[in-house]
Each structure stands twice: as structure tokens, then as C-alpha cells.
């Protein structure tokens, strides 16, 4: 049962990374006019969150596929959950305070994934 929770969490995280990366060009265009260096930094930071999601999903999948009934897998799930909660809090106090609905969904999705991973780490 814990592997099912971990797989669901990894899928949510990975898909959220894809959903984060797809509109990058539109997001950056929304800041126009913007200097080239600032555009590059904004693009980097926007895509860094997508890469973070993909990396977390891959780590959770690797831990699950190599034996989710181990202490190592449980701690991987807990560490990933901690990072997800941290990102959820960061988003809640920054982007989620805007009118953009996707920023409001983000903390909920990240926290849900963190809860799934925490449950998976204890069962």
C-alpha cells in the first residue's frame, strides 16, 4: 500500500513539473518589457522549480522501485515531503497571493503530495 501512495505522489509531482514548464514562454512574456539578463534569470528560476519537481519524482520512484519497505525509502519519502512542504509555504507567501489560480493550486498540490509521502513512509 505504501508504494501506491508513493507512486501517486511521484506522478503528481512529476506532472506538476510538466505543467510548470509548459507555460514558461508565456510567463516570461508577461513581464515585458524586461532586460535580457533579467529575462534569463526569470527563465532559469521558473524552470528550476520544474526541474526540482522532476528530480523529486525520480528520487521517489527510485526509492520505491528499489524497495519501499526499507528505512532508506522511508527517509527519502520524509525528506521529499519536507522539501515539498517548504516549497508549498514559499508559494503560499509569494505567488499564491496573486490572482493567478495556478499559484493558488500549487501549495495544495504540493502539500497533498507531501502527505501521501509521509503516510507511505510510516505504513
Residue 38 lies in a domain: no
Residue 116 lies in a domain: yes
Cβ-based neighbours of 92, under 8 Å, separated by 6 or more: 107
* Residue 110 DSSP class: H
pLDDT digits (tens, 9 = 90+) for 43-95: 999 999 999 999 999 999 999 999 878 899 999 999 999 999 999 999 999 98
**Structural domain span for residue 7:** 2-19+48-122
Copy the grid coordinates of residue 97: 497571493
Residue 94 lies in a domain: yes
SS3 1: coil
Number of domains in the chain: 1
pLDDT band at 8 (very low <50, low <70, confident <90, very high): very high
Residue 41 lies in a domain: no
Residue 114 lies in a domain: yes
* Plot region of 100 (φ>0 → left; ψ -120 to 50 → alpha; else → beta): beta
Amino acid at each position: 500500500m505504501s508504494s501506491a501512495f508513493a507512486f501517486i505522489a511521484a506522478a503528481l509531482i512529476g506532472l506538476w513539473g510538466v505543467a510548470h514548464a509548459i507555460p514558461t514562454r508565456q510567463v516570461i512574456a508577461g513581464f515585458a518589457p524586461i532586460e535580457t539578463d533579467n529575462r534569463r534569470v526569470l527563465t532559469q528560476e521558473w524552470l528550476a522549480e520544474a526541474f526540482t519537481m522532476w528530480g523529486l519524482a525520480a528520487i521517489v520512484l527510485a526509492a520505491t522501485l528499489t524497495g519501499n519497505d526499507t528505512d532508506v525509502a522511508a527517509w527519502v519519502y520524509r525528506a521529499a515531503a519536507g522539501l515539498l512542504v517548504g516549497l508549498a509555504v514559499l508559494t503560499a507567501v509569494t505567488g499564491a497571493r496573486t490572482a493567478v489560480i495556478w499559484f493558488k493550486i500549487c501549495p495544495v498540490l504540493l502539500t497533498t503530495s507531501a502527505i501521501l509521502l509521509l503516510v507511505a513512509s510510516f505504513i
